[in-house]
Structure 1
Amino acid sequence: MSDMTQTAEANAKIMDGPNVPGTDPVKSDKSRSLAQDAFRDLVRRPMFLLSAVLILFILFIAAFPGVFTSVDPLDCDLKNSMKGPSGDAWFGYNFQGCDVYSQTVYGTRNSIVVGVLTTVFSLIIGALVGVLGGFFGKWTDAILSFVTNVFFGLPLLLAAIVILNNFRDEKGMRNAGVMAVVLTLTAVGWMSMARVMRGAVMQVKQADYVAAARSLGASTTRMMFRHVLPNSITPVIVVATISLGVVISAEATLSFLGIGIRPPAISWGVMISEAQQRISQGLHPLLFPSGMLSITVLAFIMLGDAVRDAFDPKLR
């Protein structure tokens, strides 16, 4: 009888796994598997590694431009106007005699700042609207969905042009600063994230752990921000990563049209706008900022695609 009891206890220990206080081995493995499998799959993707390296390098340039050039981007000499690339100026000079390489390096900061801040603000607004609408439903969802659809009906660039056209400097010239461009693009660019967040929240709130938290008396705020939001934010982050590249190109487009950032501020869009006026005299002032813009946008799109493929179970 005692042998049978010992055998049963041993089998129970094997079934239960190691007795670690405060942990459930089965649940622990399952909870880790989603994130761990996605991360392991992600780091094996060449597209992710390449895009991550490019983005880190571009962010480093934006944060520490002085490491890459000691030339003042606003130190211009008309005697060097439109000179081609050389040992003294790797990317040549523009029509004002400014070093194109130095301006490309320093222009990275404003372009990246606009992209990152706009994406972060859009993510916050979109996540909040999506959580409230998806979690509460009924009239709350109806009102927020109506507001989202109204903003969706506004073409992004057209709405941004209308708003930014009202920003003037002390001379009455159109001139929107970096924060004006950020807030404008945020106001017309948060809707996609709100829709994605709403759909994810509507799925997650039906989960058993949310029902268990509700039955245990958890407050609405705790359920939303402790259980629902963390488990529905992944698809929104993927959208935000891809949108960051789109925002950078939108800033360049607005600056090219003379609506966004204006000289003496430097951005890739400003450089492209100035270079296209003298394109018949030389391509190098246009080629290098355009190349940096294209590489940056492509890197963020590649990163977003890699993250989406890694975290979407249907694509793995």
Structure 2
Amino acid sequence: MTDQQQVDLRKDEVEAGTTTGLASPSVDVTNERQNSLWSDAWGELKRNPLFWIGAVFGLLFLLMAIVPQLFARGADPRACSLSNSNQKPSAEHWFGFDQQGCDYLANVVYGARNSLIIGLLAVAVVLVLGVVVGAVSGFYGGWVDSLLSRLTDIFYAIPFILGAIVVLRSGILGRGVVAVAIALAAFGWMTAMRLVRSQVIAVKSSDYVAAARAMGASNGRILLRHILPNAVAPVLVYTTITIGVLIAAEATLTFLGVGLQRPAISWGLQIENGQSLLRTAPHLVLFPSIVLTVTVMAFVMMGDALRDALDPRQRA
């Protein structure tokens, strides 16, 4: 057989493999790996009590933010009477009253909405920035990777809370819910970027990625269909935990006077207002602090359980 005949035969084999779908097993293998990973993870999560505890509390606070009327016992957080100022908790009013004579249970319940919105919105921005920048940096490498990595290092050098304080005090974004979420996300996306970058670098050298490239798949298709689905697991763990961290950060900023402002209702504002009355009316600090702590712990427990489920080394 001549050299030309061998080349023609190889061309025919490649065309036959492409038309008959013989090269598609690489895609099937990728999908099977993803399905196996998430099905095994779900099996581990179902057996983890920490996940269910966190999920129940997380769902509870989410419902509290969506339909606060169900939890406020019909009380209006803005219906106040100075005659009830700083009254202690009772059978009729479980959380007592604040300094303005407003029902404190209603205030704590309604405070969940702003706190959760900020946490979820900020983590969504963190996820988008981290995934996009990390994926581009890890996939293309070279000068692109160097430029984006140095940009990330610059943001890493700025303390998280301090950076958010500077942005919010400048008044560029205002002091609303969206402004606080953006200020937190602007200085909190770097870890997600590093996680995605390292995972993309590890995955892009896999055999199924090489097979997809040999089939003529574009860089965008390889990145979206074959690399990111296998690199996103650590980022999901990180973002689940980060929701709780960002909720606590919002309360910290509001407590320091640079976050949400009245007439907004949030746990940080309630803790800030009650600190001066800690000796005479400790319930003003106690109740929002407990709810804030339980909320943060719920997301942290879900994140820890998800991390253990997605890490094969944690399994017996």
Shorter-chain TM-score range:
0.7 to 0.9
- Give the structure 1 partner of residue 46 of structure 2: 43
Q: Does 1:124 align with 2:128?
A: yes
Counterpart code for 2:107? Q
Map of 2:151 onto structure 1: 147
Deviations 1:201-254 (A, max 9, x none): 111101111101111110111111111111101100100011111000000000
Q: How does 1:1-316 map to 2 (within 5 A)?
A: 32-69=35-72, 70-167=74-171, 176-316=175-315
Provide the secondary structure at the position in 1 that maps to 2:80. Answer: coil
* Mapped partners of 1:297, 1:44: distance in 2: 22
Deviations 1:277-297 (A, max 9, x none): 211221111111000000000
SS in 2 for 1:261: coil
CA distance in 2, matches of 1:238, 1:32: 18
Percent of matched pairs sharing the same residue: 46
SS in structure 2 at match of 1:277: helix
Give the distance between the partners of 1:176 and 1:31, measured in 2 at CA.
42
2:182 and 2:32 map into 1 onto residues whose CA distance is 43
- The 3 A distance-change label for structure 1 pair 84 and 311 is same
**TM-score where L is the length of structure 2:** 0.88
Unaligned runs of 5+ in 2: 1-23
The answer (yes or no) to whether the contact 1:135–1:201 under 8 Å persists in 2 is yes
TM-align CA RMSD: 1.8
Q: Which moved more, 1:79-88 or 1:148-157?
A: 79-88
SS in structure 2 of the partner of residue 133 of structure 1: helix
Whether the 8 Å CA contact 2:274–2:285 is kept in 1: the answer is: yes
Q: After TM superposition, which residue ranges in structure 1, 4 or more long, deviate above 4 angstroms?
A: 26-31
Give the letter aligned to residue 135 of structure 1: F
Q: Quick check: 1:168–1:176 contact (8 Å CA) kept in 2?
A: no
CA distance in 2, matches of 1:29, 1:267: 45
How far apart are 1:309 and its partner, in Å? 0.5
CA offsets per residue over residues 137-173 of structure 1, 9 Å max, x none? 000000000000000000011111111112289xxxx
Residue type at the aligned position of 1:118? A
Name the SS of the counterpart of 1:165 in structure 2.
Answer: helix
- Tell me if the contact between 2:160 and 2:188 (Cα under 8 Å) persists in the aligned partners: yes
Q: Which residue of 1 aligns with 2:20?
A: none
Q: How many residues are aligned here?
A: 289
Cα displacement (A) at 1:30: 5.5
Offset of residue 32 of structure 1:
3.7
TM superposition shift of 1:33:
2.8
CA change 1:187–1:89 in 2 (3 A) is: same
Deviation, structure 1 residue 88: 2.7
Relative to structure 1, the CA distance from residue 34 to residue 301 in structure 2 (aligned partners, 3 Å threshold; closer, same or farther) is same
User: TM-score when scaled to structure 1?
Assistant: 0.88
Q: 1:94 is paired with a residue of what secondary structure?
A: coil
Q: Distance in 2 between matches of 1:133 and 1:314?
A: 28
